[in-house]
Chain A
Amino acid sequence: MIQFKEGYYADIRIEDRFRTTISYKAGVLEEMKTRNEKQAFLRVYDGKLWYYASVTDVDHLQKTLDGLYAAATANPDILEDPTVKRFEVNRDKLSSFADRSVRDIPLAKKQELLLSYLPILSEEPAVTLPEGKYLDRNSEFRFLSSLGADITYDYQTCGIVLSFAMAEGEKQFHGSWSNGVTRFEELRGLEETIRGSVREQADSMRNAVPVEAGKYPVVLSPEAAGVFAHESFGHKSEADFMISDETMKEEWQLGKAVGSPILSIAESGAIPGSGFVPYDDEGTKARKNYLIKNGVLAGRLHSAQTAAALDEELTGNARAIDCEFEPIVRMTTTYIEGGDLSFDELIAPIEKGYFIKTVKHGSGMSTFTIAPKVAYEIVNGKLGRPAQISVISGNVFETLGLIDGLTRDVELLSFVGGGCGKIEQYPLPVGFGGPYVRVSEMNVQ
């Protein structure tokens, strides 16, 4: 039983994390392991400074907590501190995966699943180095605070990641395919999807034509639209970037028009998948937050510290990658909401443009970039040949204003492996997605 002291705010986050990694390269087993780690992160706040400790000795948390208390200075008014006043005091036990935990699935069954997919890569003659991984994670979290919060919940992802170097003559391509889900059984029956993806990437290697650098209409797939939403606007919505300069609040005033009237970007930790965060690492319950609604700045993402600094409500976005780090403002699942068009209607008006189907990576500051993996020409309203594109780029706000078409159907993606990076904390699992999105003009190189 943890004894919290008066005169301080304190919280403790404990994670019991189970992980499996099985990997093959060129048909040879490279790695096969399970890892079970239990760690805790403790915070004490005295109204002036936060004191943090990360420990693996979770049986003696009181001793670590007392050490942090000793470094801090008691503050009789700590409960009146604006940050402390923001904290939610939730008490909940949420078990989403207890009856289908990947902890209970034998390693051999996971290996067998991965092995069932690997031969598909070698069906394509251009593949010279096939690689495959099975990854899973099941975490059990507990959060306690000096205010009385007591929350337990679990988290789970599992998935297959395939990568394949291809070479044919002078042509080369580094292909990949992955699928992240929350139930092991959902990873079955993916043969045709994988086969189709490998074929498409081989075709792109063989037949992609160089682009003539310039400005073109561009259609983003749900994957590319999700990367765009996450990189170009999601990071800008993280309020820890806004509390250093007093003028930032005016520059980023809620209600300001920042994009096309058809554009709405939302964020929620309540969506099942890799961005599932029912309670954030300060004990705040997940909720849906609009970042942009109908082209207007509608909200931003907060920890208790940033919500207090900007006098706004909590959003459930204080997250840490694990119990070595403190929570900072991070995304969960970020997505563009759908519109009213079909895919064919979306591309029909484009005489010459590009469709970005899959993405290697993206980034977003004043200028955003997306490095496509598979892309196609759009010619006279129809998809054409595969295209070789290094990057597409644009000014973030100009591009948000140039979105002029959205499909009805929205796809939200979930991942295993990789994740979002911010400052020292990488990788954090997130989700993202959206509809197919048409932008009237982007730089294509």
Chain B
Amino acid sequence: MEKEFIKKTEQSVTLNVTAGKIDSFREIEKTTGTVRVYENGCIGVAGCLGEPNEEELTEKAKAALAFAIPYPCCLEGPLEQEEIHDEEIIPVAEFIPTMQRFLDRLGELCPRFALTNKIGMSRTYTEYRNSLGRHLVSCGRELNISLVAQSRGSGNLFDTGFGWSGDHFDEEALLAEFKREYDAFYKPVDIEPGRYPILIEPAQLLYSYLNHFVGDLYAAGASLLNGKLGEKVFSDKLTLKADMNLHTAPNGCFFDAEGCVAPYMRPSLVENGVLKGLLTTKKTAAAYGLPNLGTAAATYDGVPDMDLPGLYAEPTAKSLKELVPGKAVLVVVAAGGDATPEGHFVTPVQMAYLMENGELVGRLPDITISGDFFDLLGKDYVGTSHDDPIEGFNFSAFVMDVEKP
């Protein structure tokens, strides 16, 4: 009988912000434990909230084998690896005063905005062991600033937002960037309908196409990518990976729920336009003869399931200016879009800036953007830039049709 043991501790402190003032402080610590056992082609799972008692969980997992849930036993082999990124970002005792000072300064720079929502710090510690001698420990911390901005007097519940997440707090850089966005917000500009490079976080666009990358839908012939694994189907410039690297995904985990570790901790979906991977678990990979991507997730008491932790598009340009030297649309909020089964994607854009030569020109009115799956990731994919205008801001550009509603 083979066995896996997982312990995960998630800690967070979260501040609620109302009208620029912190009005609540929440502290959570949650530990979970999991044991999975494998015997006769089946899996047994047991989990607990709180500090795990491994022996007790093992007995429960063995008992769960009676459910006869089929699962291949193909554990990862021996490996000892730790990725510990545990530097304190802001001491908990100083979190409220530090953030209130930041909010006060932001309020002075952006007096026409009423700011609400959350600022949080989190730490995630995950340990994985299996009976083949694999032992992995991952620990990361993240600061997450997510502020909703109402333009005073607009009557809108939501006008725009300021957001950032990362493993440090650079107050001056954030204030400068948020001020830049604030200034552009109050410069209304217009755009003629036509085709423009659209700067958007890749996940925001590709979420609507996620089904087509799911292993069992691919195997079932229900993906637009049917039969294309290993083939070049997209632009040469497109390299798309799942991001499990703590340098760029600091609150994640560098291994998946089944103990898989990818090179550079970024399993490949697409490399230079070639379809390299699909979202799988060890079970679906084995069932359909697909390579296992290594991005499985699992609840603390559940069988592993396919997941996509986050997307990483390899940069093709050093800056936004180099990426889109002319006119471009930078999308801030685009909610409610979707794609037809044939791959035609349409979304309204509720908040966007016009950019020119890498600089924000002004705020655009509501627009609609659209495109088709293979074109967007093929001939219409312009490229990706990282850390511009500030660290952690990663945008990909796709040429899309822009219309006014």
A and B from one complex: yes
Do A31 and B114 touch across chains, with their CB atoms under 8 A apart? no
Q: Of the listed stretches A53-61, A149-157, A284-292, A412-420, name the one at the interface; the rest are far from the partner chain.
A: A53-61
Whole-angstrom CA separation of A241 from B148 in the bound complex: 10
Return the contact of A25 from the options B152, B156, B216, B221 (Cβ within 8 A): B216
Tell me whether A244 and B366 are in contact in the complex, defined as CB-CB below 8 angstroms, given that A32-B69, A52-B24, A362-B336 are known contacts. no
Most buried by A among B67, B115, B158, B222: B222
Asked whether, in the complex, the Cβ of A443 is within 8 Å of the Cβ of B405, the reply is yes
| B165: interface (CB < 8 Å) | no
Q: Answer yes or no: A26 CB below 8 A from chain B CBs.
A: yes
A174 touches B24 (CB 8 A): no
Contact B368 A445 (CB under 8 A): yes
- A266 and B155 CA atoms in complex are apart in Å by 22
A312-340 CB contact bits vs B (8 Å, 1 = yes)? 00000000000011100000000000000
Which residues of chain B are within 8 angstroms of A243 by Cβ–Cβ distance? 18-19
Binds A, one of B73-81, B312-320, B340-348, B380-388: B340-348
Asked if A165 meets B27 with Cβ closer than 8 Å, knowing A35-B301, A367-B336, the reply is no
| Count of chain A residues near B, Cβ 8 A | 70
B side interface size, CB within 8 A: 65
A205-B341 CB under 8 A given contacts A128-B220, A324-B30, A366-B156: yes
**Contact B69 A174, beta carbon cutoff 8 Å:** no
For the A-B complex, the count of residue pairs with Cβ-Cβ distances under 8 Å equals 179
How many angstroms between the C-alpha atoms of A388 and B20 in the bound complex?
Answer: 45
- Smallest CB separation, B140 vs chain A (Å): 18
Once the chains bind, are A31 and B19 in contact (CB under 8 Å)? no
B194 at the interface (CB under 8 A from A): no
Stretch from A4-12, A89-97, A246-254, A348-356 at the B interface = A246-254
Q: State the Cβ distance, B205 to closest chain A Cβ, in Å.
A: 14
**With A244-B150, A324-B28 known to touch, is A29 a contact of B336 (CB < 8 Å)?**
no
Within B21-47, the residues touching A (CB, 8 Å) are: 22-28, 30, 45
Contacts of A235 in B (CB 8 A): 157
- Bound-state Cα–Cα, A445 to B27, Å: 45
- Residue A105, interface by CB 8 Å: no
The answer to whether A251 and B155 have CB atoms under 8 Å apart is yes
B302 at the interface (CB under 8 A from A): yes
Q: Does B116 contact A (CB under 8 A)?
A: yes
CB proximity of B220 to chain A, nearest CB, Å: 4
**Please, which residue of chain A has its CB at the minimum distance from the CB of B27?**
A53
- A50 on the interface (CB 8 Å rule)? yes
Chain B interface residues (CB < 8 Å from chain A): 14, 16, 18-20, 22-28, 30, 45, 49-50, 64, 67-70, 114-118, 146, 150, 152-153, 155-158, 211, 216-217, 220-224, 226, 301-303, 333, 335-342, 344-348, 350, 366, 368, 370, 405
Using CB atoms and an 8 Å cutoff, list the residues of chain A in contact with chain B. Answer: 21, 25-26, 28-33, 35, 37, 39, 49-54, 56-57, 71, 128-129, 165-167, 171-174, 205, 235-236, 240-248, 251-252, 324-326, 360-371, 388-391, 393-395, 423-424, 443, 445
